[in-house]
Structure 1
Amino acid sequence: MVRKSILTVLMSAAAMPFCMSAQATDLEVTHWWTSGGEAAAVAEFAKAFDATGNHWVDGAIAGSGGTARPIMISRITGGDPMGATQFNHGRQAEELVEAGLMRDLTDIAEAGKWREVVNPPSLLDSCTLDGKIYCVPVNIHSQQWLWLNNDVFKKAGLEVPKDWNEFVAAAPKLEEAGIVPLAMGQQPWQTSLAFQVLLVAVAGPDIYNKVYGDKDAELAGSDALAPVFEAAARARDMSKKSNVQSWNDATNMVITGKAAGQIMGDWAQGEFQMAGQTAGKEYSCLPGLGMNEVIQTGGDAFYFPKVDDAAITEAQGVLANVMMAPDTQVAFNLKKGSLPVRGDVDLTAANDCMRKGLDILAKGNVIATPDQLMSADSVTQINDLFVEFFNDPSITAKDVQTRFAAIVADAE
């Protein structure tokens, strides 16, 4: 059980630098959380913020982050900023911060002792530029998962796979049964996600860090990495009949038994939970595709654009503290399928998949996301490459490896 109620945390002026507002303020918050599980999670933030006497004005933007971010950036640079906005951990808002358009949260972070409670510390480092903190990390999302419909395998007379290789071996029999082996949406980040998850699973986290972190183009184009691109080509073949666009539509294919599995981040858990399914019963989850079990320390963060309005500025500070409050962290992340950024919260209600993630995190088996290691432009180039690859079977594994290595060579 969570140690305190959300209201208790919000009203504790001694422990937290926020309390009920003297005057209610509407605060527009933009984000791209629109699937069923995501909407349930973001409602926890809204409920906790509204409990302070302010009002969360929901600015959800349909689509993915790739769709939403240009809209958010355009509003901020165009002089029409929202009160708060979502970005992913990493360098996505770097230019906005450098341009002086984002609020410095260092005083709030120091008062709340964020450096003492955020785990791993790299999450807060991703919000820091020139020693100042500019965002609130709200969760740890890892992309390194394979989600499986247990019943699909049983009906096909197959054991539920324990790793990627067993999953690939089961594909022909699944196809004979009319099941799409691998569900995959066609948004650019999804195909790129599948590739980099395969890179970690097949080649290991050290190779991943050298390629994405050190920008080792020679390694990226070497024979040592050829199996990774061959695995990506196999994934392309297994997903050729997926025919969906959004990630949550692909997840729904797994939930409903139209597909056997999906490579997707842990946010997919929210969709399984909304469908009333239980981890370890109706579905299984394989961190690191069951091969190299690691947790990425990426996730979501909220930035607060500078505004010339004292009431909005005050409400921004309240929301920043609400998002970091222990009970809000628990309530939000249990719905979202992610892990809290606070290392001091009670997670006895965590499900089987969340416990796997917590165990891996406790062992220190973590890697950064591409957004934390490369510029937004370099990540976009890789995304575009794998959209083309997954949609054009004529592009060979060797071809895409050569092009990928060239992007890595010029990456920032």
Structure 2
Amino acid sequence: MKLKRMFLATAAALGLATSAQAVELEVTHWWTSGGEAAAVAEFAKAFNENTDHTWVDGAIAGGGGTARPIMISRIIGGDPMGATQFNHGRQTEELIEAGLMLDLTDVAEAEGWADIVNPSSLLASCTVDGKVYCVPVNIHSWQWLWLSNQAFADAGLGVPSNWDEYVAAMPALQEAGKIPLALGGQAWQANGAFSVMAVALAGEENWLKVNSGKDASVAAGPAYTKVFEAAAAAREFSKDTNVIDWNLATAKVINGEAGGQIMGDWAQGEFAVAGKVAGEDYTCLPGLGVTEVISTGGDAFYFPKNDDPEIEAAQKELASLMMSKAVQVAFNLKKGSLPVRGDVDLAAANDCMKKGLEILAEGNILISGDQVLSADTTGQIDDLMTEFWSTDLSAADAQARYADIIASAD
């Protein structure tokens, strides 16, 4: 009740609208794994307990690749939900341009989001023509390698401290009956793993030239040749994963069936649900242990326009709650992500989250690919990486096709 009193008092002081009538607000998202479900439940709890409204959960299984087309189709087709998840970046450009998303600028300005969101690029990704259209809720970084301490102990090996040591251990892991590298079958996982390798092995500067600068000569050059050859070698040790969903691949690391997984920090939510302790049961290496960097991608919630003023008021109440200190802490501790607010207390963070916070504080951050590549370009790379990781497509041929995609990227 304390949070509700604080929220209502703040809303009144800032002149924010609060709905006069109770609203059932449908919220769509693709958070369906154990850790994800525990995290999104914190949003629902805060909304149900601190407003007069009801959160109607609209979870869509299958990840963002499955969910986004469904969400977009509903919005375009005139059947909008109350709120919906997208990633930070360019996924909603056309919806905003078509006038289908609610302008949240009044809430953002009243609450000073520009002063509290860190890094500022997250709010910039929500801003089009000076207007704010979404609330960023977390910082998720792809730049992590998760290692099973049990798997390495079973193989009689020490836990690696960097990518080269991990690669050197892969044959012994395989001989011990372990899957050296767990990689699920969804396209975004293949693309994500490659991108993390590119940052670590080609270097941040070259990654930026390719992804932000759309420099096809770098994509076709020796720095990326190294990445493609390393990925081709690593894929030989990932073929026995035999799962589709990312969280099932993470489960193999949790259970000691696999040595490691390249995956974003949302994997921490799965370790937490399983009762595993960072530094004891598993090890996390930012930047593959090669370069301590985190990317600042993540999730944001958009609010499709609705003709009902009561629904609009409830939408803005939810947006405000999602940015509040207490909800930011509760949600991100469960999600394994970092808060977008730079003024919250995360004393309860585990060792891996603390590593991320330290890197963020030092400013060793990298913009997310979602923020610089269009959905169309990302889709093309997803398709190529799916083929590359699942077939014997040569590193040279894959690199040539990748460079062609970058050459025409928007």
Band the TM-score falls in, shorter-chain normalisation: over 0.9
Contact 2:247–2:267 (8 Å) recurs in 1:
yes
Q: Provide the C-alpha distance between the structure 2 equivalents of 1:126 and 1:367, rounded to a whole number of angstroms.
A: 14
Report the CA distance shift for 1:226/1:318 in structure 2 as closer, same or farther (over 3 A): same
Which moved further from structure 2: 353-362 or 152-161? 152-161
Distance 1:405 1:290 in 2: 27
CA positional deviation for 1:17: 5.4
Is the 2:26–2:82 contact (alpha carbons within 8 Å) kept by the matching residues of 1? yes
Equivalent residue runs for 1:363-378 within 5 Å: 363-378=362-377
Output the CA distance in 1 between the equivalents of 2:5 and 2:180.
47
Q: In terms of mean alpha carbon deviation, does 114-123 or 288-297 score higher?
A: 288-297
How far the C-alpha of 1:8 sits from its partner, in A, is: 4.8
Q: Specify the SS of the correspondent of 2:264.
A: coil
Pair 1:217–1:28, CA change in 2 (3 A): same
Distance 2:67 2:48 in 1: 24
* Structure 1, 289-298 or 88-97: larger mean CA deviation: 289-298
What CA distance in whole angstroms lies between the structure 2 residues aligned with 1:246 and 1:342?
A: 30
Alignment-derived partner of residue 30 in structure 1 = 28
Give the Cα separation in 1 of the matches to 2:95 and 2:16.
Answer: 27
Letter of the 1:384 counterpart: D
What does residue 190 of structure 1 align with?
Answer: 189
Q: Match of 1:408? A: 406
Cα gap change, 1:84 to 1:24, in 2 (>3 Å): same
CA deviation profile, 1:327-362 (whole Å, cap 9, x unmatched): 000000000000000000011011100000001101
Q: State the match for 1:12 in structure 2.
A: 9
> Residues 20 and 53 of structure 1 are in contact (CA less than 8 Å); yes or no, is this contact kept in structure 2?
no
Residue pairs, 1:160-171, within 5 angstroms: 160-171=159-170
Q: Spell out, residue by residue over 1:282-335, the C-alpha distance to the aligned partner (whole angstroms, 9 max, x if none).
A: 001000000011111110000011101111011001000010000000000000
TM superposition score normalised by structure 2: 0.97
Which residue in 2 is equivalent to 1:351? 350
Show the counterpart of 2:334: 335
Contact 2:42-2:327 at 8 Å conserved across structures: yes
Match of 2:135 in 1: 136
Contact 1:103 1:134 in 2 (8 A): yes
**Unmatched segments (≥5 aa) in structure 2:** none
For residue 293 of structure 1, give the secondary structure of its aligned residue in structure 2.
Answer: coil
The CA deviation at 1:16 is 6.0
Q: Give, in whole Å, the separation in 2 of the partners of 1:12 and 1:185.
A: 47
Q: Which aligned pairs between 1:239-388 and structure 2 lie closer than 5 A?
A: 239-388=238-387
Contact 1:17-1:321 at 8 Å conserved across structures? no
Cα deviation 1:119-163 (Å, max 9, x = unaligned): 000000000111111000000000000001111111211110001
CA 1:15–1:140: 2 relative to 1, 3 Å? farther
Deviation at residue 225 of structure 1 after TM alignment: 1.9
Is 1:155 aligned to residue 157 of structure 2? no
Q: Where does residue 145 of structure 1 map in the other structure?
A: 144
Look up the match of 1:40.
38
TM-score w.r.t. the length of structure 1 is: 0.97
Q: CA deviation at 1:22?
A: 3.7
Compute the displacement of 1:20 (Å). Answer: 7.2
Alignment correspondent of 2:125: 126
**Is 1:80 aligned to 2:114, yes or no?**
no
Amino acid across the alignment from 2:162: D
TM-align CA RMSD: 1.3
Report SS of the residue matched to 1:348.
coil
Question: Residue 17 and residue 65 in structure 1: after superposition, are their counterparts in 2 closer, same or farther (change >3 A)?
Answer: farther
Task: Note the C-alpha offset of 1:6.
Answer: 3.5
Letter in 1 for 2:352: C
Give the direction of change, closer, same or farther, for the CA distance of 1:8–1:348 in structure 2 (3 Å limit): farther
Distance 2:172 2:88 in 1: 40
2:61 & 2:13 partners in 1: Cα distance?
A: 37
**Structure 1 unmatched runs, 5+:** none
The AA in structure 1 aligned to 2:382 is N
Measure the CA separation in 2 of the matches of 1:183 and 1:362. 30
Amino acid at match of 2:110: A
Aligned in 2, Cα 1:161/1:15: closer, same or farther, shift over 3 Å?
farther
Taking the aligned partners of 1:7 and 1:176, their CA distance within structure 2 comes to: 56
How many pairs does the alignment contain? Answer: 408
Give the conservation status (yes or no) of the 8 Å contact 2:292–2:364: yes
Give 1:61 deviation, angstroms.
Answer: 0.3
Structure-to-structure mapping, 1:172-191, within 5 angstroms: 172-191=171-190
Which amino acid letter does the alignment assign opposite residue 400 of structure 1? Answer: A
8 Å contact kept, 1:185–1:250: yes
Looking at structure 2, the residues matched to 275 and 73 of structure 1 have their Cα atoms a distance apart, in angstroms, of: 34
Q: CA deviation at 1:18?
A: 5.6
Give the aligned residue type for 1:23.
Q
Distance of 1:5 and 1:15 partners within structure 2? 16
Q: Rate the CA distance shift 1:200–1:7 in 2: closer, same or farther, 3 A.
A: same
Cα distance in 1 for partners of 2:361, 2:210 equals 25
Shift of 1:224: 2.7
Contact 2:25 2:82 in 1 (8 A): yes
2:200 aligned with 1:201: yes
